[in-house]
Amino acid sequence: MAKNHYEVLVIGGGISGAALFYELAKYTDVKSIALVEKYDGLAKLNSSGTSNSQTIHCGDIETNYTVDKAKSVKRTAKMIEKYCLQYGYQDKFMFAHQKMAIGVGDEEVAYMRKRYEDFKELFPYLEVFEKDKLAQIEPKLIYDEQGNERPESIVGVGVESGEYSTVDFGQMTESLVENATKIEDKQTDVFLSSQVTNIKKFGKTHVVETANETFTADFVVVNAGAHSLYLAHRMGHGTDYGCLPMAGSFYMTTKKILNGKVYMVQHPKLPFAALHGDPDILANGFTRFGPTALALPKLERYHGNSTVIDFIRTLRFDTSVAKIFGDLLSDSDIRNYIFKNFMFEVPFINKRLFVQDARKIVPSLGLDDIEYADGFGGVRPQVLDKKNKKLMLGEASVNPGTGIIFNMTPSPGATSCLGNAERDVKSVCEYLGKTFNQKEFDKDLVE
C-alpha cells in the first residue's frame, strides 16, 4: 500500500473536521485516518475563539428556531456538553453562564411570553424574568446612563445558572485531535501547512494533491468551510449551489457589562443572527457585542485577497443567483439591514451607529464603553440554492455517493459538529463496509 494512503482522509482542521477525525478514530473500525489542514495550526479560521460567539446554540434562546429545529439542535448541542464533561473540560474551556433572550416593547414581550409557553416543555429549566428580576441579575438591561429605569416594557426568557452555554471551540478542536491520536491500534496522522490544491478520482481511489505531497484515500470528507463548495465545483459536484460569504464583526466593551449571554428577538425575514451580547472567555469576561453581517467577496476574511478569485468561481453567478439577490434586495427590511451593516464597517461613524443598536440591550452604553474588535469575526458560507432560487438557511452537504462528501457549515456549525460527524461516519462506514459502534457513541455522547 502507498505510503500516504488512508482509508479516510478529512480535509479541514476546524471543529467540524476535528470532530469527524475523533469519531472515526474512537467509534469505528477504520484503521487509518488522516487530517489535512492548510494552515500551520488547527482552528485558525472560523473555529477560533475570536471568530465566533463561543456559544452552544441549543435552541432555548435562539428565537429564529422552531420547536422542531430546537429538538434537533438540542440533541447535537448536548453532545458538546457530554464530550467536555467526559474529559473534564468544564471550567477549562466550557463554562456555565446565565443566558436569556429578551423582548423589548409590548410586541416583543408578547412574542417572548408565547415562545416560553411553546418551548418550556422542551427546555424545562427556562424561566420568565420580569423587569424586577432582570434588575437583579442583569441590571444593565434596565437602567440608562442617568440611572433611570428604561420606559419600555421588557421581559427575559432564559436560565440564571446551571446550564453550560459557552465553549472555546478552538481549544475544543485541539482536544478532539489530541484525543483521537491517543487511541491505540489506529493510524491517526495530522498534516499541517498542507493546502489541498486538487482532488481526483481514479477507480475507487481518491487522489488528494497538496502543495507539499500527494495522498490517496478510499473516502474523503471535505470540511473546509467556504472552500468545501469550491473544491466540490472543481470535481463537478454541487453545481446547483453557489456560495455567498457573510462576514461577521464584533465590538468589545472596555469593561465587564453583562453577567451572561443576552440575545434579542430575531427579525423573521433575516437569515442572519440578531445582535447579542456575550461574556468573552478570552477577554476577561468583557462583553462582546455582535455580530454584524456583511457580504464579503472572499472566502476567508483576514488572509489578504487571495481568496477573491475562489469566491467568484464558487458564487457561479448566473440568472438564478441574480434572482436570489434581487428578491433579497427588493424587501425594504432586508435592504435597510444590509445597508446599516455595511455602515457598521465604516471608520469614524461605525461605532456611533452600532452603539445606537446595542442600546436596545444596554440603555446606558456609551461610545467610550466599546471598541471595534479588530481581527475578530469570520466568514460563514451562506449557500445559494440555484435550483429553487433561494438563500438556504443552515448547513448544506454535497454527497454524490462516490466516496466523497463536501460540507458547508455556517452557524451553528460548531454546535452541531459532533452530530454532523455522526451522520458522516455512518456514510463512511456504509460505503467502506466498516462498523460504527452506535452503542458506545450513544453512551458517551447521547444518553
Q: Domain holding 144: CATH number?
A: 3.50.50.60
* Residue appearing with cell numbers 502543495: 211
Helix (H, G, I), strand (E, B) or coil at 237: coil
pLDDT of residue 133: 97
Q: Cell numbers for 56, please give them.
A: 452552544
Range of the domain at 186: 5-445
**C-alpha span between 119 and 64 (Å, rounded):** 12
**C-alpha span between 320 and 228 (Å, rounded):** 21
Q: What is the pTM of this model?
A: 0.93
Q: In a structure prediction context, what are the per-residue pLDDT tens digits for the chain, which is 447 residues long?
A: 457 999 999 999 999 999 999 999 999 999 999 999 999 999 898 878 777 888 999 999 999 889 998 998 999 999 999 999 999 999 999 999 899 999 999 999 999 999 999 999 999 999 999 999 999 999 999 998 888 999 999 999 999 988 999 999 999 999 999 999 999 999 999 999 999 999 999 999 999 999 889 999 999 999 998 889 999 999 999 999 988 888 888 999 999 999 999 999 987 766 566 889 999 998 888 999 988 888 878 777 776 667 888 888 888 888 998 998 888 888 887 788 778 878 888 888 888 989 999 999 999 999 999 998 888 887 777 888 889 898 886 678 999 999 999 998 766 788 999 999 999 999 999 999 999 999 999 999 998
Strands (E), 309-374: 370-372
Report the chain's terminal Cα–Cα distance, integer Å: 40
Q: Cell numbers for 256, please give them.
A: 465587564
pLDDT of residue 1: 42
Strands (E), 80-153: 94-96, 99-104, 127-129
Helix (H, G, I), strand (E, B) or coil at 155: strand
For the chain, the domain total comes to 1
Could you tell me if 36 and 210 are in contact, meaning their C-beta atoms sit under 8 angstroms apart? yes
Return the H-helix or E-strand segment holding 287: strand 287-290
Phi then psi for residue 100, to 5 deg, are -160, 160
Could you tell me if 164 and 94 are in contact, meaning their C-beta atoms sit under 8 angstroms apart? yes
pLDDT of residue 11: 98
The closest of 263, 239, 272 to 59, measured between CA atoms, is: 263
The closest of 71, 154, 142 to 113, measured between CA atoms, is: 154
Judged on CB neighbours under 10 Å (0-12, 13-18, 19+), 195 is: middle
Task: Render the burial of 12-24: b for 16+ CB within 10 Å, e for the rest.
Answer: bbbbbbbbbbbbb
